[in-house]
Amino acid sequence: MKVSKTSIDGALVIEPDVFGDDRGFFMETFQAARYRDVLGDEFDFVQDNYSRSAKNVLRGLHFQKTKPQGKLVRVVLGDVYDVAVDVRHRDEHYWIVRVCALTYP
């Protein structure tokens, strides 16, 4: 998988390896050891959600002050305009915005 850092500390763009041929494709969507290598020993994947949105739908912001959670966003068909905002008051990176267009296929 290809991992790219962003302007927000801890926010990464992860592109899985996709193996395809005339029959279709295969893609490993999650493998704990591989993600731990990328994210470190504190990585603890505990929940997996799946949602579908109709065209032109805007989903809300996700923020937990007392029990923060990481988010893994995956596009299975179509396009998503994903926006991340660093709201941590810890340094000069406060309010940095990262926009990423996610498309599949």
pLDDT per residue as tens digits for the range 9-46 = 888 898 999 999 999 999 998 898 998 998 888 878 88
CA of residue 1 relative to chain centroid, distance? 13
Number of domains, the chain: 1
Contacts of 27 (CB under 8 A, 6+ apart): 16, 17, 18, 19
For residue 22, what are the CA distances in angstroms to 1, 25, 38, 76?
22, 8, 31, 19
Contacts of 87 (CB under 8 A, 6+ apart): 63, 94, 95
Q: What is the pTM of this model?
A: 0.76
**Which tokens in the block code for residue 96?**
């940095």
Residue matched to tokens 């302007």: 7
- Domain range for 20: 2-104
CATH code of 45's domain: 2.60.120.10
Beta pairing partners, 15: 2
Higher pLDDT, 26 or 69: 26
Torsion of CA 72, 76, 77, 83, to 10 degrees: 0
For the chain, the average pLDDT equals 86
Tell me how far apart the 2 most distant CA atoms of the chain are, in Å.
50
The DSSP output letter for 3 is E
